[in-house]
């Protein structure tokens, strides 16, 4: 998971992004400046968190997540324990209705120091000794993405009683069988076409 994040790029040109940048800066932990021992970082994750990763567009809405990151620092390593709980709204893959996808994540990340790669994997990374801070945002983002099921369906809804919108499924079937007529001016078809072209 070696990625470079250019949070600073848009600061001057797009005022609306400044807030996001400021918010995501909370995720940058300057561990060098922390005492050995236990530290806790709390985050509230809303839609703007995803927008930062999707250049302004995200299929998720009404994001309501809380992340608690517990850090145990000792002279040789950092151990982060992430707990991310809550819901995100997502369109259902079958009927396109929005549903509340529950998210429940408990993930450990161990940070070692050294110049050599010590076989990094999902739970362990190696940072150079010259490094002094770590950006948790990409990790939080990846954990959330991995926690969202491949099949996003109404039946996953947090209420456990939500079912697919049958009317919509019939419409989608009819649309697929209609040969996708280009003369169709119903705006709902247009919206559907856009959604289906994206899949």
Query: Kindly report the CA angle at 173 between 58 and 102, in degrees rounded to 5?
Result: 35
Nearer to Zn ion, 147 or 164 (CB): 164
Compute the distance between CA of residue 139 and CA of residue 82 in angstroms, rounded to an integer: 9
88 binds Zn ion (CB under 5 A): no
Compute the distance between CA of residue 90 and CA of residue 81 in angstroms, rounded to an integer: 26
Tokens linked to 36: 């050995």
Stretch touching Zn ion by CB under 5 A, among 20-28, 45-53, 60-68, 92-100: 92-100
Q: What is the smallest separation between the CB atom of 165 and Zn ion, expressed in angstroms? A: 6
With CB atoms as reference, the residue minimizing the distance to Zn ion is: 92
**Given its phi and psi angles, is residue 156 left (phi above 0), alpha (psi -120 to 50 degrees) or beta?**
alpha
Binder of Zn ion out of 24, 65, 84, 92 (CB under 5 A): 92
Compute the distance between CA of residue 18 and CA of residue 46 in angstroms, rounded to an integer: 15
164 binds Zn ion (CB under 5 A): yes
Q: What is the smallest separation between the CB atom of 183 and Zn ion, expressed in angstroms? A: 29
95 binds Zn ion (CB under 5 A): yes
Q: What is the smallest separation between the CB atom of 85 and Zn ion, expressed in angstroms? A: 23
Q: How many residues bind Zn ion (CB under 5 A)?
A: 6
23 binds Zn ion (CB under 5 A): no
Tokens linked to 138: 């990409």
Stretch touching Zn ion by CB under 5 A, among 64-72, 110-118, 122-130, 157-165: 157-165
Q: What is the smallest separation between the CB atom of 155 and Zn ion, expressed in angstroms? A: 8
For residue 11, CA distances in Å to 16, 17, 55, 102, 168 come to 9, 7, 14, 33, 42
Q: What is the smallest separation between the CB atom of 191 and Zn ion, expressed in angstroms? A: 16
Nearer to Zn ion, 112 or 156 (CB): 156
> SS3 of 25, please?
helix
CA atoms within 13 A on the CB side of 3: 12
User: Residues interacting with Zn ion, by CB under 5 A?
Assistant: 92, 94-95, 97, 154, 164
């Amino acid at each position: 998971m070696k990625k470079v994040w250019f949070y600073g790029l848009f600061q001057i040109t797009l005022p609306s992004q400044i807030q996001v940048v400021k918010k995501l800066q909370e995720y940058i932990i300057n561990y060098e400046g922390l005492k050995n021992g236990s530290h806790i970082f709390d985050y509230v994750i809303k839609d703007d968190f995803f927008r930062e990763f999707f250049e302004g567009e995200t299929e998720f809405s009404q994001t309501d997540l809380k992340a608690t990151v517990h850090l145990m620092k000792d002279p040789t390593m950092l151990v982060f324990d992430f707990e991310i709980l809550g819901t995100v709204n997502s369109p259902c893959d079958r009927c396109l209705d929005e549903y509340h996808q529950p998210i429940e994540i408990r993930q450990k990340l161990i940070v070692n120091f050294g110049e050599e790669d010590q076989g990094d994997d999902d739970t362990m990374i190696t940072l150079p000794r010259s490094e002094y801070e770590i950006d948790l945002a990409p990790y939080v983002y990846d954990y959330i993405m991995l926690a969202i099921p491949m099949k996003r369906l109404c039946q996953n809804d947090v209420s456990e009683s939500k079912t697919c919108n049958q009317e919509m499924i019939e419409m989608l079937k009819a649309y697929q069988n209609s040969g996708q007529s280009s003369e169709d001016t119903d705006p709902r078809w247009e919206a559907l076409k856009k959604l289906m072209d994206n899949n």
